[in-house]
Structure 1
Amino acid sequence: MVQEESVTTLLPSISVVVPNLNQGQFLEEALLSIINQSDLDIRIAVMDAGSTDNSLAIIKKYEQHISFWRSHPDNGQAAAINEGVQKLPPSDYVCWLNADDTYLASGLTKMAEYLELNKHCSVVYTQAYITDSTNQIVNEYPTIDFSISNLSNYCIICQPATLIRSNAWGNVNGIDASLHMCMDYDLWWRLLRQGKIGYLHEFTASSRDHEGTKTRNNKERHYIEAFKLLKKHIGYVPWSWCMSMVIETKIINRDLTSKIRIRLRAAYEYLRNKL
């Protein structure tokens, strides 16, 4: 009787970087959501920027699942993510999960399966939830099908619900470490030159909205950085972004051109009378 030869199947490998600074109240949920993904070879790097809360205790609790971690002041979130990718062994795919966000069950697995089947895509994004400080779902993130027009006009991609092909990441040299608010938005534009951006109609992750988020506490800075990136990548700032800035910040920034300030002020006065 001839014995059948065993077949070894290599699992897709993923480098997951977790940047963290004093997010100990959320960090354990984030780490568990990575560790509990199935059918993947996952390498985790936790890049702690010198937390003074319980973050280090949590990191040490799950140290057996973490390939690399360190804790000291660094040059910001973007630089920490790039560093984390470099510290991990080469992988098929790359992503990062902020310490206050989470993956859904099999979320990473679904994204990896999509990229395994769609070799022409440099990155995939999916549907995602918005959760509160207790990780309860409060809304759906407004993702829509990909097009250059949609990417130009709206934040259609929820960063936690993304997975990037490693060679594409390497070709664009990762994240631009000079950016602090819109590093992911800039990355999508640069990855678009490496291959198509795929959209998977499934929920794979949750983005947590709470009082301590950078975006909530730095809205004006977020828009100014986004405007600069839009001018860099498409040559102008779409009106939809200007309207969003008026609605969210209620601020007309003095650094904008006079023409834009006048248009924004007119839109603001209109909306103030209508809302």
Structure 2
Amino acid sequence: MKSLKPTVAVVVPNLNQGRYLGQALESIIAQDNITYYIAVMDAGSDDNSVEVIRKYEKHIEFWRSHPDDGQAAAINEGVERLPHSDYVCWLNADDVFLEDGLVRMINFLETNKHFVAVYAKAYITDAHNNIKDTYPTTSFSQSELSRGCFICQPATLIRRQAWDEVDGVDPDFHMCMDYDLWWRLLKQGDLGYLQEYTACSRDHTDTKTRNNKDLHFNESFLLLKKNIGYVPWHWVKSYSLKYKRSDSFIDKIIVNFIAVLLYIKNQLY
């Protein structure tokens, strides 16, 4: 029998984020007037993650803990392990939904049937839940999306039908699976923008983005070439700044020269 409430599959990928995992799960459980299905996909953590999972086990539809093929593959597995739902999302173990944040994104898609997914505003918080900044979201523009990902992943929700049409996230990406997903979803329809705060993205010393910047750029270049056919100048210029050692005139020339070479290379291959 179909639930009278909207249903949503929420996958929580985790690796050694036990100190935050409980907060992530609490933020899902606190969402009212929806039917949620939670899968916790733990990649073999050696901290207290399994202990936290067992504490919330009655709220969790599926969980496992063993080494896997990466975050994207785990997310896809989690969605498949859960009952079929109206909507799909994932919440990294160190992020949280705000009060009614998931509910408001569901209500947006329930009202705006023509959108295949929605993204909303989000706060950036530190390890102690203090708000450091707001994520730089903006009204949707493919041109702006080509310059950088202004969509904050925890503040997103996707229709299950659209998710299935694009086969979920691409397991070949380990850093930018969400950025790639937005481009592929655009081939199914438009992305809606909810101008309300619905989630918090945590910035701390152990985040993948902080510790894998080269891989982040490499994957961004690859997915941009795949989805729009080229890498915009803004991206190669940003990457070349890693070679900057000072504000000297010579350094600026070197950085710009490297950027030009990268730009040419990424248009030819």
Is the structural similarity TM-score above 0.5?
yes
> Share of identical aligned residues, percent?
61
CA shift, 1:76, in A, is 0.6
Contact conserved, 1:220 with 1:251, CA < 8 A, in 2? no
Matches within 5 A, 1:160-239: 160-239=154-233
C-alpha distance in 2, partners of 1:213/1:101?
Answer: 11
Q: Of 126, 131, 134, which aligns to 1:137? A: 131
Residue 109 of structure 2: which of 103, 109, 115 is its match?
115
TM-score (norm 1): 0.88
Report the CA distance shift for 1:75/1:111 in structure 2 as closer, same or farther (over 3 A). same
Cα deviation digits, residues 52-84 of structure 1 (max 9, x gap): 111011100010100000111111100000000
What are the Cα deviations for residues 194-238 of structure 1, in whole angstroms up to 9, with x where unaligned?
Answer: 111000000000110011011000111101110111111111111
Cα distance, 1:265 vs structure 2: 7.5
Cα pair 1:146 1:197 within 8 Å, conserved: yes
Unaligned 5+ runs, structure 1: 1-7, 253-259, 267-275
Aligned CA distance change for structure 1 residues 153 and 36 (closer, same or farther; 3 Å): same
Contact 2:38 2:61 in 1 (8 A): yes
| Equivalent residue, structure 1, for 2:31 | 37
Match of 1:264 among 245, 259, 267: 259
* CA positional deviation for 1:264: 2.0
Q: Match of 1:74, SS?
A: coil
- Matched ranges for 1:73-152 at <5 A: 73-152=67-146
The match for 2:252 is none
- Residues of 2 paired with 1:264 and 1:161: CA distance? 33
CA, structure 1 residues 250+69, in 2 after alignment: closer, same or farther (shift >3 Å)? same
The CA deviation at 1:245 is 2.2
Matched, 1:66 2:33: no
Question: Residues 40 and 62 of structure 2 are in contact (CA less than 8 Å); yes or no, is this contact kept in structure 1?
Answer: yes
**Structure 2: where are the runs of 5+ without partners?**
246-254, 262-269
Amino acid at match of 1:171: E
- Opposite residue 59 of structure 1, the aligned amino acid is I
Q: Contact 2:3 / 2:35 at 8 angstroms: preserved in 1?
A: no
1:50 pairs with one of 37, 44, 47: 44
Q: Residue 180 of structure 2 contacts residue 223 of structure 2 at CA under 8 Å; is this kept in 1?
A: yes
CA 1:265–1:191: 2 relative to 1, 3 Å: closer
| 8 Å contact from structure 1 (residues 81, 96) kept in 2 | yes
Asked if 1 retains the 8 angstrom alpha-carbon contact of 2:240 and 2:258, the reply is: no
1:216 is paired with a residue of what secondary structure?
helix
AA at the equivalent of 2:236: C
Determine the C-alpha separation between the residues in 1 that align with 2:4 and 2:225. Answer: 43
**1:105-137: per-residue Cα shift (whole Å, max 9, x none)?**
000000000000111111100010100011110
Alpha-carbon distance in structure 1 between the residues aligned to 2:32 and 2:70: 31
Aligned-partner SS, 1:244? helix
Query: Is the Cα contact below 8 Å between 1:121 and 1:198 reproduced in 2?
Result: yes
Q: Report if aligned partners of 1:123, 1:196 keep a CA contact under 8 Å in 2.
A: yes
Give the aligned residue type for 1:26: Y
